[in-house]
Structure 1
Amino acid sequence: MAWIILLIVGFVGGTVGSIAGLGGGIVIVPSLLFLETSLGVISNMGPQIIVGTSYLVLIATGLSSTIAYMKQKKVDFNSGFIFFIGSGPGAIVGALINRFFETDQFAGVFGLLMIGISLLMFFTKSIKPIGIIKTGKLHTYTDENGMSWEYKYSTILAIIICFFIGILSGLFGIGGGSLLVPIMLLLFGFPTAVAIPTSMFIVFLSGITGSVTHVSLGNVHWLYALALIPGAWFGARFGAYLNRKLNEKVVVTIFRLILIIIGFRMVINAIIG
């Protein structure tokens, strides 16, 4: 039964993560916490093992969705490698910091992070790019309807920002896309059609560095990871397909509400013990 549940969790995480460029960890991590602390379906986890296991799954999610989006020619590989210069080392630092968290502390802080991300996603949809980035190489993208988009960013600023996003990613096992996509949209003016696929490419690269660190620290439950990965792989492919079919605003609104509800629940549980 546990394997079937984990397979479903992986599929849902991969699907949602691929649709919105979040990576999937934002679904997998709280799900694993709930399955252990509230339902007792799984055991021998704890925040370090949960994050490490989630990070290993992010490799499958990121690679699967990147392949799917690559066929749609929506991945900005040059920007992805530049952002990875910051997010890769950051993920290693975050993985090292993670070992100092207890379960209740982790759940509470992670719940606050989920609430913050949901609010950030709200502003992403409500505020136009603020346009403070005036330097950097100009990038262009032409969508399926023939519309052209332009965006630019400062390489140094992007690397610095991605380093701190990488820390949070390695600390909480969320992949970083949930923070990276809003930054790409608001600060750098990326079109959504490019930001989400490129974010998943960065999730894949950062997933490798973060996973190596977590594996070296013994923070991976291999059996549970093997149950999650197949679902995450096919979920990511499915999410990339849905990204082209569904109304993006509806998907993001529903997901944002889910984040708020789960986030408040985790915070309350952490407070009352």
Structure 2
Amino acid sequence: MDTARPKRSARFYAVCIGVGLLAGLMSGLFGVGGGTVIVPLLVLALGFDQRFAAGTSLAAIVPTASVGVITYAVDGHVAWIPALILAVGAVGGAQIGTWLLPKLSQTALRWSFVAFLVIVIVSLYFVIPSRDAELELTWITGPGLLVLGVITGILAGLLGVGGGIIVVPALLLLFGTSDLIARGTSLLMMIPTAISGTVGNLRRSNVDLVAAACVGIAACTTTALGASLAKLVDPFVGNVLFSVFLVFIATQMAVKAVRGRHQR
């Protein structure tokens, strides 16, 4: 069997739907794209290779993030212009990241990112976001958002991580934004970024559109639930849950770093 394109079967569709349901819940709850859930599960459960799984995940994020944005926007928890600024920076940064990819040590980058996540995880227990805090554009925050977008794009290009695990904590800790606005804005930023990446992946035949459609459609059914749960959860509890999610991501990244070192 081709590991990049698994055989279509009942199990294939069942796994895609299950992955989508879980990814959608995580996306709505934490304001992330869900790729950190989709990619490893497609690799482990269906035998996708890493790049093919990443390309498929990116395509699935488009409908998932769209539903999440609508859910957050209904209650005014999306900062539209800041999200656009972030997206512009992220699209440009992704090009830089892919250019740097062959020039830098992946192992060193992964350990650096793990260290970054550890700092964020600890900080989340000391900074409790206010639900009333807005993300206002000023001469300082505007350029700051653009820089954040570029950094997000670079890391996405280098490590294949989604923007949410960078943007959400940055908006919380550096910009003092409400946790709900941070999540809604993060999801909106992902849509043009994911579309841009998917177009490139389609040109390189690096996406399984059937799997992406199954995952994406399934995710749409639980994204709104995740977003609704996020609104009900106390901000501190939300921080705790998000920190647990980041521990999962950091562990994944550390395992990849260790494996990468052993394979050298």
Please, what TM-score do these two structures have when normalized by structure 2?
A: 0.79
The residue type equivalent to 1:242 in the other structure is L
Match of 1:194 in 2: 181
Displacement of 1:209 after TM fit? 1.4
Whole-angstrom distance in 2 between the partners of 1:150 and 1:222 = 36
Whole-angstrom distance in 2 between the partners of 1:51 and 1:205 = 16
Displacement of 1:157 after TM fit? 3.1
| Local SS of the residue matching 1:75 | coil
TM-superposition CA deviations, 1:24-48 (whole Å, max 9, x none): 1122222233x1xxxxx424x4332
Match of 1:67 in 2: 70
| Structure 2 contact 180–231 (Cα < 8 Å) conserved | no
Whole-angstrom distance in 1 between the partners of 2:14 and 2:78 = 32
Match of 2:52 in 1: 49
Displacement of 1:77 after TM fit? 0.5
Match of 2:61 in 1: 58
Gaps spanning 5+ residues in structure 1: where?
A: 36-40, 130-141
The residue type equivalent to 1:207 in the other structure is A
Cα gap change, 1:182 to 1:250, in 2 (>3 Å): closer
Displacement of 1:195 after TM fit? 0.9
| Structure 2 contact 164–186 (Cα < 8 Å) conserved | yes
Whole-angstrom distance in 1 between the partners of 2:116 and 2:26 = 14
Work out whether 1:4 is the aligned partner of 2:14. yes
Correspondence 1:1-273 to 2 at 5 A: 1-33=11-43, 35=44, 41-43=45-47, 45-94=48-97, 112=111, 115-116=114-115, 118-128=117-127, 143=131, 147=132, 149=134, 151-152=136-137, 153-246=140-233, 247-272=237-262
| Structure 1 contact 114–259 (Cα < 8 Å) conserved | no
| Structure 2 contact 24–219 (Cα < 8 Å) conserved | yes
Displacement of 1:264 after TM fit? 3.5
Please, what TM-score do these two structures have when normalized by structure 1?
A: 0.77
TM-superposition CA deviations, 1:78-116 (whole Å, max 9, x none): 111122221122234545766x59xxx97x678647734
Whole-angstrom distance in 2 between the partners of 1:223 and 1:65 = 21
The residue type equivalent to 2:242 in the other structure is V
Whole-angstrom distance in 1 between the partners of 2:112 and 2:204 = 24
Cα gap change, 1:16 to 1:148, in 2 (>3 Å): closer
| Local SS of the residue matching 2:189 | helix
Gaps spanning 5+ residues in structure 2: where?
A: 1-10
TM-superposition CA deviations, 1:175-226 (whole Å, max 9, x none): 3111111221222221212111111110122111121122222211223212
Cα gap change, 1:217 to 1:117, in 2 (>3 Å): farther
| Local SS of the residue matching 2:33 | coil
Whole-angstrom distance in 1 between the partners of 2:90 and 2:125 = 26
Whole-angstrom distance in 2 between the partners of 1:97 and 1:229 = 30
Question: More displaced, 261-270 or 176-185?
Answer: 261-270
Count of aligned pairs? 246
| Local SS of the residue matching 1:48 | helix
Q: Give the share of equivalent positions with the same residue, in percent.
A: 23
Question: More displaced, 67-76 or 233-242?
Answer: 233-242
